[in-house]
Structure 1
C-alpha cells in the first residue's frame, strides 16, 4: 500500500513533468522526440525514467513521452499509447515479462524495423514472456534481435544473475575508454546484482563499454559486460545496459552514461558540459500481485 500511494503521488506530479509534456515550450517541436516505454514491476522504472525524461526536456531541449503499464505498474498486458512510436526519434525500453496484445506489439515491431535507434535497461533482456503455443512467443527473444542480448531468461540462453544480496563494481573496459558514451563516466558501485550474459552475448559486432564484477556473490564471480552498443538487423543504433536498480540511478556516472547514450543513439555529439547531477531517490521493491 505504501508503494502504491508513492506511485499515485508521483503520477500526479509527473503529469506536469513528462508524461504530458511532449510539446513544452522549452522543447521546440523540431527537437527529437524520445519515447520511454516502461513496464517492469520490480525496479520502479515508471518512476526513475520520468525523472531522466524531465532532465532531457528541461536541460537538454529534447521532447519526451513516458508510457506506463495500465491500470498500474503490476499490469503485464497493457501499455497504452504505443502508437506514439510512429513519431519517435528514439525509443527507450525498460520492460519485464510483458504479454502485450498484437496491436501494441505491432507498434514496437514497426519502430524497430524502421532502423531508428533503441536503448534498453536491465530486465529488457527478458522483456516478454509468452507461453508455449502462443503465436507471439517469438517476442520472448526481443532482446536478442534488438539489443544483441540473451534471448530471454535461463534455459538455452544461459542468462542468470548473482544473488540479490550481491552488488556490482563497474569499471571501464580499457579499449572503450575514448568512446563518447563514456565521456565523464568513471568507475562506480552499482546496487544491481550482476547479470550473467557470457559466453554467447553480447552478440557478435557489439562494442563493450563497461564491465561488472559481483561483490558478495553467491557463486564464483565472473566479470560480465554491463553496457554495450550494437546495430540492429535494420541498421539502427542500439545501446543496452544490464544495470537499472533504482539506486543505480542515483550514481552520477550512471546518469552521465544514460544522457551520453541518448545523444549517441540520436547521432548527436555528446555534450561537452555536464548539466549536473540529477536528484533521483526512488524506492526498490518486489510488489506481489494481490
Structure 2
C-alpha cells in the first residue's frame, strides 16, 4: 500500500531541473497557477512549493513553482536576476508571488508583463509590494523599480510599495483583524485566525481598494501576547498610536493594465513562510486564488499542508542551501 501511494504521488508531479510542476489531483479545475518565488528574506522558496502542493493536491489546480537559481542549479534567493523556466508564464491563468527586489532579463520581464497584460489575477504576498529593483534607467522596465517616483510596479498594480516597518521587526508579531465592514467578502470565508510572526508594514492602499484585514501589532512574537501601545510618525508626518487605526494588511482591487484590460488583485503584507504556518493565513491565500479566478470560494477550504511544513525563520541569513527545485517534489 505504501509503495502504491508513493507511486501515485510520483505520478502527480512532473519534474524539471529548474522548476517543479504539481499536477492536479481529484476534480480538476482546468486552471494553471504559476507561483513565483524570489526573495532574500522571507523564505518564498519554502512557501511557494507548500502552497503549490495544497492548491494542486487539495483543490485540483495545476501548479508550477519557479525559483531564483544560482549558477550551480540550486535555489539561491539572492540571485535577483534569476527566474527559472519563465515560459510557464505563457500559460498562467493566475500568478501567486512572493518576490523582493528582482531584476530579470528583458525576455523574462516581457513574459511577466505579457501575463499581467493578459489580465491574469495576481495574488501577491509580503515583499511583493517592492518586487522589483535594479532595472537600468534605459530599461523598458525601469518604471517597475520600487523607488520610482510613482511607487513602481507595486504601487501601480498592488496599490502599495515599500514604506516602512510599522511594527518592530523581529520583535512584534502581527494579529490579523478582519475588517468588519467587509467580513462577508468571499476571500474571508472560513478565515478565523490570522497570525504571522512577521511585523506589520506601513501601508496606505488607494481608495479603490477593499480592505479585508488590518494588522494589530503585538508586544511579542507569539499570538498570545497583548497589543502594543505606543505612537510613531507615519510617512506623511502625522503622529498616531500604532494600533489606532491599524494598518491594512490584506486588500483587493481591480486595476486596469497596460493593454487596457483588468486584473483582479489580492495583496497581503503578511505571507512570510513562517506566517503561512498558521491555518487562517494559508486559507486567506487559497481563497484569494479562487476569487481571482472567478471560482466559488469553498466554505472552509482544506489547507492542511502536504507532508511536514516547518518553515525556516525569516532573515537575510540562514536560508537553506544546496536545495534543488526537485527536492520539493511530492515523491520526496
Q: Which bin holds the TM-score, normalised by the shorter protein? A: 0.7 to 0.9
Cα deviation, residue 163, structure 1: 1.7
Distance, in Å, in 2 between the alignment partners of 1:108 and 1:172 is 32
Q: CA offsets, 1:213-248, max 9 Å, x none? A: 212368441411100101121311110000012221
Q: What RMSD in Å do the two structures reach over aligned CA positions?
A: 2.5
Q: Are 2:100 and 2:130, in contact at CA under 8 Å, matched by a contact in 1? A: yes
Cα deviation, residue 40, structure 1: 0.6
Q: Select 2:131's aligned residue among 127, 149, 159.
A: 127
Cα deviation, residue 81, structure 1: 1.2
Distance, in Å, in 1 between the alignment partners of 2:53 and 2:188 is 22
Look up the SS of the partner of 2:49 in the other structure.
helix
Radius of gyration: which is bigger? 2
Listed as ranges, the gaps of 5+ residues in structure 1 are 1-13
Distance, in Å, in 1 between the alignment partners of 2:303 and 2:29 is 25
TM-score under structure 1 normalisation? 0.84
Alignment-derived partner of residue 280 in structure 1? 309
Q: CA distance change for structure 1 residues 57 and 25 in 2, over 3 Å: closer, same or farther?
A: closer
Distance, in Å, in 2 between the alignment partners of 1:61 and 1:145 is 32
User: Superposition pairs for residues 210-225 of structure 1, below 5 Å?
Assistant: 210-216=213-219, 219=232, 220-222=241-243, 223-225=246-248
TM-score under structure 2 normalisation? 0.74
Look up the SS of the partner of 2:36 in the other structure.
strand
Q: Which has the higher contact order (CA 8 A, sep 6+)?
A: 2
Q: Are 1:172 and 1:187, in contact at CA under 8 Å, matched by a contact in 2? A: no
Look up the SS of the partner of 1:230 in the other structure.
strand
Alignment-derived partner of residue 174 in structure 1? 180
Shifted more, 232-241 versus 118-127: the winner is 232-241
Distance, in Å, in 2 between the alignment partners of 1:132 and 1:105 is 13
Alignment-derived partner of residue 88 in structure 1? 92
Q: Are 1:160 and 1:195, in contact at CA under 8 Å, matched by a contact in 2? A: yes
Q: Are 2:25 and 2:59, in contact at CA under 8 Å, matched by a contact in 1? A: no
1:161 and 2:183 aligned:
no
Aligned length: 266
Listed as ranges, the gaps of 5+ residues in structure 2 are 1-12, 71-75, 146-151, 220-227, 233-240, 319-332
